[in-house]
A and B are shown apart, each in its own frame.
Chain A
């Protein structure tokens, strides 16, 4: 588990309210690994940023199905910066082509999870991203 007193709090949002099987699987995987998961549902980028701010989220996770991953994540990162939470780690997963996944990583996304990813990999990435931020370098 984490050395923090309280569990890691993750705001988990969807790009659209389309098929949600994978979204709920990942949410439950995070929960079962000890995370506090805020199931935000479909949100616009500005909504995710302000929800993360209000909830004091340690990490934001976005499920992408329909929207263009690069355009959508660009908007989320901008909204996070505008809300003053630009340093909160962002994870993205879903239907993301490899070339787009590489772009997202270059933009500063802490982890990109394409189909075939293990739950344990998502959990580990989220933990490390939060730890990397809270532990002084």
Chain B
């Protein structure tokens, strides 16, 4: 039976016609690609002049394993870098908390020496780098690699997944590290996206496309307005504020989602934040295709799923794309599976013809109707959130995602939401991969020796670093923190003096205690702490 509603709850008709889009005014609501409100895209020429960036998220083992995988992916045609795991752990590899963890949940980095390993032989000035998570020590180490190579920070382009949380310091207050990052990047790194609002993982819980849009624009609006409150220019902030979105199963609604979000964001930036700069009003986003839609059972089915998700992202005009690997339900993606994800993107880009026309679904009665309905629904959610306190709004996001995740699981368990290979068309022998060894990566997906090797490497760095420079940098970092001075520059200096992330965190927690450091942001990420 066909579904009566989209996952967002929008009623579906048998077919759509002109009456379903009669309320739309082309110039006001759509505009040509490259024209406000950018429903149809941020550039007039779309992918005809600049293709999306092929940017598989990756991080495995230590700097060395990640470097080898990264070089492989770049050789195979990846055009940007996205690293996961950077600075997730606010402690050193030798800490008891690092047991069974080093190199499993992304790349493990203790010091600048490890970051140098990550980027060994890779021209970082000509590739954009995405840093997953908002670790300031890891960001400082990327900056440190550039400086050691004699590059200016302004030569770098990339993104840090920075955002502003409401339960930190009040925005105006010095000591809010999220805003420190925005200010540092705006001043020193004009090609670096200082903010990347991630609602991708929020969507993964099972919320609808309308909520993904609403929660995203809310968090974007909150980040931009708090930076403006501390004195930043909305145009400057808006130019480098980006989004990190999901691409889920329902193809038509997903395409409509990206279009609706562009329109809503442009209106918010112009009307609520007073941005006048075109680029500051343009929603630019990276998509990582759905993980929750992928299954551990019959894993090759995931190749088909991820291709459909990737199509939604491309039809929706994503600037950058990571196609989830088909074996992610089992653990860290293998090199084979990640290469296939790159190939998926290349086939869409070079063979499907979809990159040759901008916004090809524009004018489709069904897609325009869904776009308009999604914008209305998400605007209403956004408006209601702006009437809450920021802390309440974030709690609303948490409550909504918890509820949606549970509901989704019950629907799958009852068979109301079909998942091929899981609750229908199951196979008796749901082998992990049903693949021959030759298709598997030569590299292990986990090696307990990574931790011991990493501990030895860290010990060597500590032996070889200049102890006076180390001590001076440690003191300066702690002092800047104590005085609530902007924290990023002293952190870069600490990175260059080869302080480990664990040492930086300890130095700051020694000043204020861990709870305060957590509130100020950027040093203790929530992942492993």
Chain A interface (Cβ < 8 Å from any Cβ of B): 15-19, 21-22, 24-25, 28-29, 42, 44, 65-68, 71-72, 75, 95-100, 114-116, 118-120
Stretch from B95-103, B308-316, B454-462 that touches the partner? B95-103
Which residues of A sit under 8 angstroms from B295, Cβ to Cβ? 115-116
Contact with A along B5-20 (1 / 0, CB 8 A): 0000000000000000
Which residues of B sit under 8 angstroms from A15, Cβ to Cβ? 100
**Given the known A-B contacts A67-B104, A71-B100, A115-B296, are A18 and B528 also in contact in the complex, defined by CB atoms under 8 Å?**
yes
List residues 402-458 of chain B with CB under 8 A from any CB of chain A.
Answer: 402, 405-406, 409-410, 413, 419, 422, 431-432, 445-446, 448
Q: Is residue B205 contacting chain A, with contact meaning CB distance below 8 A? A: yes
Are A118 and B413 neighbours in the complex by a CB distance under 8 Å?
A: yes
CA distance A75 to B100 in the complex (A): 9
Are A99 and B100 neighbours in the complex by a CB distance under 8 Å?
A: no
Partner pick for B528 among A22, A66, A118, CB 8 A cutoff: A66
Are B413 and A67 neighbours in the complex by a CB distance under 8 Å?
A: no
Given A21-B405, A114-B296: 20 more A-B contacts, CB < 8 Å: A16-B527, A17-B526, A17-B527, A17-B529, A21-B204, A21-B206, A22-B405, A28-B406, A44-B99, A65-B105, A66-B528, A68-B100, A71-B99, A71-B100, A95-B330, A98-B330, A99-B432, A114-B330, A119-B413, A120-B413
Q: How far is the CB of A59 from chain B (nearest CB, A)?
A: 20
CA distance A65 to B419 in the complex (A): 22
Chain B interface (Cβ < 8 Å from any Cβ of A): 96-97, 99-101, 104-105, 201, 204-206, 292, 295-297, 329-331, 401-402, 405-406, 409-410, 413, 419, 422, 431-432, 445-446, 448, 526-529
Are B405 and A25 neighbours in the complex by a CB distance under 8 Å?
A: yes
Which residues of B sit under 8 angstroms from A66, Cβ to Cβ? 101, 104-105, 527-528
| 6 residue pairs, one from A and one from B, having the closest CB atoms | A66-B105, A71-B100, A98-B432, A67-B100, A115-B296, A21-B205
**Given the known A-B contacts A16-B528, A98-B431, are A72 and B406 also in contact in the complex, defined by CB atoms under 8 Å?**
no
CA distance A118 to B331 in the complex (A): 19
Interface SS of B by simple majority: loop
Which residues of B sit under 8 angstroms from A116, Cβ to Cβ? 295-297, 329, 419, 422
Which residues of B sit under 8 angstroms from A114, Cβ to Cβ? 296, 329-330
Residue of B nearest to A73 (CB): B100
Q: How far is the CB of A72 from chain B (nearest CB, A)?
A: 4
Residue of B nearest to A98 (CB): B432
CA distance A115 to B296 in the complex (A): 6
Q: 25 A-B contacts, Cβ less than 8 Å apart?
A: A16-B101, A16-B105, A17-B529, A18-B105, A18-B527, A19-B201, A19-B204, A21-B204, A21-B292, A24-B405, A29-B409, A44-B96, A66-B104, A66-B105, A66-B528, A71-B99, A75-B99, A96-B330, A97-B445, A98-B431, A100-B331, A116-B297, A116-B329, A116-B419, A119-B413
CA distance A18 to B104 in the complex (A): 12
